[in-house]
Homo-oligomer: A and B are copies of this chain.
Amino acid sequence: MNGAQHALEAACAAGVEVCFANPGTTEMDLVTALDSSPAIRSVLCLFEGVATGAADGYGRILGKPALTLVHLGPGFANGIANLHNARRAGTPIVNLIGDHPSWHLESDSPLTSDIDSLASPVSKWVRRSNSADRFAQDMVEAIATAKGPPSGVASLIVAQDAAWNEASAGMPTVSVPESSLDEDLIQRAALDLKERGERGALLLGSRALRPSLEAAARIQAATGCQVFLDTFMARLEQGRGLPNFETLPYFPEQAIEKLSGLQAMVVAGSRRPIAFFGYKSIGRSELLPDDCECNVISGLGVDSSPALLAMADELDAPRWTPGQQGAPPIEPEGQLDTMNLGLALVSVLPENAIVVNESATSSLGWAVHSKTAAAHDVLNLTGGAIGQGLPNSIGAAIAAPDRPVVALQADGSGMYTVQGLWTMAREQLNISVIVCANRAYRILQAELKRAGNSEPGSAAMSMTELSSPELNWAQIAQGMGVPSVRATRAEEVVGALRRSFQEPGPMLIEALL
What is A's interface to B at a CB cutoff of 8 Å?
A: 21, 23-26, 28-29, 31-32, 34-38, 42, 44, 46-47, 49, 72-75, 77-78, 80-81, 84-85, 88, 100-101, 103-104, 106-111, 113-115, 117-118, 120-122, 160-161, 164, 232, 274-278, 280, 283-286, 382-385, 387, 412, 415-416, 418-419, 422, 425-426, 443-444, 447-448, 450-453, 456-460, 462-464, 466, 468-481
- By a CB distance below 8 angstroms, the chain B residues around A104 are 275, 277-278, 285
Contact flag A73-B84 (CB < 8 Å), given A122-B113, A466-B46: yes
A469 in contact with B426 (CB, 8 Å)? yes
A38 in contact with B459 (CB, 8 Å)? yes
A274 in contact with B232 (CB, 8 Å)? no
Residue among B25, B416, B426, B458 making CB contact with A447, cutoff 8 Å:
B25
> How far does the alpha carbon of A452 sit from the alpha carbon of B32 in the complex, in Å?
9
A28 in contact with B479 (CB, 8 Å)? no
Contacts beyond the supplied A35-B459, A38-B459: 12 A-B pairs with Cβ under 8 Å: A21-B463, A42-B459, A46-B412, A74-B85, A78-B387, A101-B280, A107-B274, A108-B274, A117-B117, A117-B120, A425-B469, A471-B481
Chain B's closest residue to A69 (CB) is B463
A325 to chain B, nearest CB (A): 34
11 A-B pairs within 8 Å (CB atoms) are namely A25-B277, A35-B456, A35-B457, A35-B459, A44-B463, A77-B81, A80-B118, A104-B277, A109-B275, A114-B120, A478-B479
Residue among B107, B122, B383, B444 making CB contact with A28, cutoff 8 Å:
B444
Point out which of A28, A426, A453, A469 has the most chain B C-beta atoms below 10 A from its C-beta. A28
- By a CB distance below 8 angstroms, the chain B residues around A115 are 121
A31 in contact with B384 (CB, 8 Å)? no
> How far does the alpha carbon of A477 sit from the alpha carbon of B480 in the complex, in Å?
11
Closest 9 CB pairs of A and B: A469-B481, A104-B278, A475-B479, A74-B385, A476-B479, A35-B457, A77-B80, A107-B285, A28-B451
Point out which of A110, A120, A121, A284 has the most chain B C-beta atoms below 10 A from its C-beta. A110
A13 to chain B, nearest CB (A): 18
A22 to chain B, nearest CB (A): 8
> How far does the alpha carbon of A276 sit from the alpha carbon of B447 in the complex, in Å?
45
Residue among B35, B118, B422, B468 making CB contact with A469, cutoff 8 Å:
B422
Point out which of A37, A81, A160 has the most chain B C-beta atoms below 10 A from its C-beta. A81
Chain B's closest residue to A463 (CB) is B31
- By a CB distance below 8 angstroms, the chain B residues around A450 are 28
A494 to chain B, nearest CB (A): 25
